[in-house]
Amino acid sequence: MTWHGYRREVASAGSQRVAVAIVGLAASAMFVGLAMRHLDFASVLRSLRSARLLPWVPAATAAYLAGQLVRGQRLRVLVRRESTLSLATASNVVVVGYASNNVFPARLGEFVRAGMLAKLTGIPLTQSLTITFIERLLDGIAILVLLLIGTATLPARPQWMWDVARVGSLVFGVALALLLVAVVLPSFLVSLASRVSASLRPRWRDRVVAFAMSVTAAGACLRRPRDLVVIGAYSLLVWLLESAMFAFILPAFGLELQLAPALTAMSVTNLGILFPSSPGFVGSFHFFCSQALVAQGIPAATALGFAFLVHLTFYVPVTLWGAGAVLFYGVEIGATAAIARAARSSSNATYEQGVPIHRIAELDPPRPGPPASEFDVALVEALLSKEPDMVDRASVDYVAAFVAEEMRALPARLAFLYDAGMVAFRIYVRLRYLRSFCGLGVARRQAAMHSWAFGPIGLLRQLFRPARSTALLAYYDRCEAITKPRRGLELVANA
């Protein structure tokens, strides 16, 4: 980008920021007005003055900060394919996002946080934004689940809460369906994007395709069922801790410490502040939080006081933590915005080896797969060893690593079938021998493996065929063969 181009971008970004801030402040003013109408302001102040801060506010703060750590852990799992983040770094990234939302209007913190994640991990910004979107989606679903639980257990169940749940289910349901398409059918999504955008100008077509590619790349973190379950569990835990923060503030106003009202207040408030508004969600937070409590029969002034205190409980610590993290990492918000803009595609071609190439997006680099598992090693050892001769450890490890790489190279569907088949085999071994495959001696392992790999059932033989063939190929081609009379072949590793 040229200097003049950069200046134009900066000027354009400045005017966009002003517009966003005006809209956010207007929304905020509207919600403040809604919360305050027909309200005796003096009674709100009285309610706040009479609040018992100890030990409830520190307890609520602790619950909220614990939630941030869980968010950090969830982020680690989400980006595990692309990068290894420490819990501290991941939590700091999360907190910088929240702190920025407290300072900037219209949830701009989400972009700051995506920029910081991109900078720290090296993953493309669009992918980082998509991961943020996935987190928000999971948050939304967890909040909805808690809202339904909370509302169902409340003695008074206002209709509007059900309506909120219904609308939320529709919005997040559609988003979840789209995400699942990206996770399960990535190729289809990119094809669809390419076709849908066929009639657009090349610049916009590139953006649509790049976005689709980014979404599918980010969705890869949910492709393993185990990861999906873990991430879902973390999401529920995050919002249970946030509900605990709401619950701990209830006794500060003389209300009973109960989970159901806290669940509904937390859920309604967080669904409400999805609307872009002022920095720190001032206004919208107070409106939705107080309305949730009023619906449960709590006086309006107490409810609004509660909302003020809860807001301060999360606002102050997370903003301070975020500011510290920004100083620590030296993240420049302006620089992050510049990175975001630089990531946009250029319609002009650059020449590479004399070939005009239009760059569209950076993609995540391929990551080496996990090393051979203990099961892979046990399987290879059983296949190669022949009693009483054992194959040397170095050869087994080398072959197991090769077999693991080869199985990962299988087309996705076959790789899945292979994995599923091996799970079935391990269950069979566990039931048959009452021990794990890896825990068996070589002779028993061989017997178990032979009953499938060379047994009468064609399907089971086919299951073992790829691993069997690649293991034997790697072993015998690696080794130097020395024929010895009467003992068959003894193979000595080149190493």
Partner 1 sequence: MRDAGRVEVLVVGSGAGGAVTALELANAGIDVCVLEEGSRWPAAAYGQGSVAAMRKMYRRRGMTPILGRVPIGYVEGACLGGSTEINSGFWHRTPREVLLRWKAQFDLAEASPNELADHFDHAEKWLDVSAYGGPLPKSTEAFSRGIEAMGWASQQVPRAAPGCKSTNQCAAGCPTGAKQGMSRSVIPRAQAAGAKVVTDCAVERLVLEGDRATGVLATLRRENGARELVRIDAEHVFVCAGPTETPALLRRSGIKHHVGDSLRIHPMLKVAAYFPEIIDAQDSVLPLLQVKEFWPEISMGGAFFTPGHLAMLLSDNWPDTRDAMGQYRQMASYYVAVRGSGRGSVRPSLLGDGAPVLRYELSHEDGINLSKGLARLATLLLAAGAERVHPTVQGLSTIRSEVEAIRWLDERLPLSALSLTTVHAFSSCPIGERRDRCAANSFGKVHGYHNLYVNDASMLPDSPGVNPQGSVMAFARRNAIHFKESLRA
| Residue matched to tokens 């950090």 | 72
Establish if 184 lies at the interface with partner 1 (CB under 8 A).
yes
Among the listed residues 191, 196, 369, 390, the single contact to partner 1 using CB under 8 A: 191
Establish if 465 lies at the interface with partner 1 (CB under 8 A).
yes
Establish if 204 lies at the interface with partner 1 (CB under 8 A).
no
Q: CA–CA distance from 267 to each of 75, 140, 285, 292, 480 (Å)?
A: 21, 9, 11, 9, 67
Q: Considering the complex, state which of residue 98 and residue 402 has its C-beta at the smaller distance from partner 1.
A: 402
Among the listed residues 416, 424, 436, 441, the single contact to partner 1 using CB under 8 A: 416
DSSP assignment string, 422-463:
HHHHHHHHHHHHSS-TTTS-HHHHHHHHHHHHTSS-HHHHHH
Q: Considering the complex, state which of residue 333 and residue 380 has its C-beta at the smaller distance from partner 1.
A: 380
Establish if 84 lies at the interface with partner 1 (CB under 8 A).
no
3-class secondary structure, 277: coil
Contact between 230 and 221 under an 8 Å Cβ cutoff? The reply is: no
Contact between 121 and 209 under an 8 Å Cβ cutoff? The reply is: no
Establish if 452 lies at the interface with partner 1 (CB under 8 A).
no
State the Cα–Cα distance between residues 188 and 192, nearest whole angstrom. Answer: 6
Among the listed residues 85, 143, 190, 238, the single contact to partner 1 using CB under 8 A: 190
3-class secondary structure, 38: coil
Among the listed residues 170, 257, 412, 443, the single contact to partner 1 using CB under 8 A: 412
Pairing relationship of beta strands 350-352 and 480-483 according to DSSP bridges: unpaired
Tell the burial category of 67 from Cβ atoms under 10 Å away from its Cβ (0-12, 13-18, 19+): buried
Among the listed residues 17, 136, 157, 386, the single contact to partner 1 using CB under 8 A: 386
Among the listed residues 406, 426, 428, 438, the single contact to partner 1 using CB under 8 A: 406
Which residues, 6+ apart, have CB-to-CB distance to 335 below 8 Å? none
Establish if 230 lies at the interface with partner 1 (CB under 8 A).
no
Residues touching partner 1, count (CB under 8 A) = 70
Q: Considering the complex, state which of residue 91 and residue 130 has its C-beta at the smaller distance from partner 1.
A: 130
Residue type, 194: S
Q: What are the φ/ψ torsions at residue 83 (nearest 5 degrees)? A: -160, 155
Q: What are the φ/ψ torsions at residue 454 (nearest 5 degrees)? A: -125, 20
Q: Considering the complex, state which of residue 212 and residue 241 has its C-beta at the smaller distance from partner 1.
A: 212
Establish if 413 lies at the interface with partner 1 (CB under 8 A).
yes
Establish if 462 lies at the interface with partner 1 (CB under 8 A).
yes
Q: Which of 259, 282, 351, 352 is nearest to 104 (CA)?
A: 282
3-class secondary structure, 484: coil
User: In angstroms, what is the minimal distance from the CB of 428 to partner 1?
Assistant: 19
Q: Give the count of beta carbons closer than 10 Å to the beta carbon of residue 413.
A: 8
Tell the burial category of 494 from Cβ atoms under 10 Å away from its Cβ (0-12, 13-18, 19+): exposed
Establish if 24 lies at the interface with partner 1 (CB under 8 A).
no
Q: Token digits for 372?
A: 């051979």
Q: Considering the complex, state which of residue 166 and residue 224 has its C-beta at the smaller distance from partner 1.
A: 224
Which span (159-167, 240-248, 294-302, 480-488) binds partner 1, by CB under 8 A?
A: 480-488
- H helices within 37-86, ranges in order? 41-49, 56-78
Establish if 458 lies at the interface with partner 1 (CB under 8 A).
yes
Q: Considering the complex, state which of residue 51 and residue 378 has its C-beta at the smaller distance from partner 1.
A: 378
Establish if 492 lies at the interface with partner 1 (CB under 8 A).
no
Q: Considering the complex, state which of residue 127 and residue 235 has its C-beta at the smaller distance from partner 1.
A: 127
Among the listed residues 402, 425, 437, 452, the single contact to partner 1 using CB under 8 A: 402
Over the window 340 to 369, marking each residue x when it contacts partner 1 by CB under 8 A and - when it does not, the resulting string is: --------xx--xxxxxxxxxxxxxxx---
User: In angstroms, what is the minimal distance from the CB of 177 to partner 1?
Assistant: 16
Interface residues with partner 1 (CB under 8 A) are 184-188, 190-191, 194-195, 198-199, 202, 205-206, 209-210, 213, 348-349, 352-366, 386, 402, 405-407, 409-414, 416, 450, 453-454, 458, 461-462, 465-466, 468-469, 472-479, 481, 483-484, 487-489
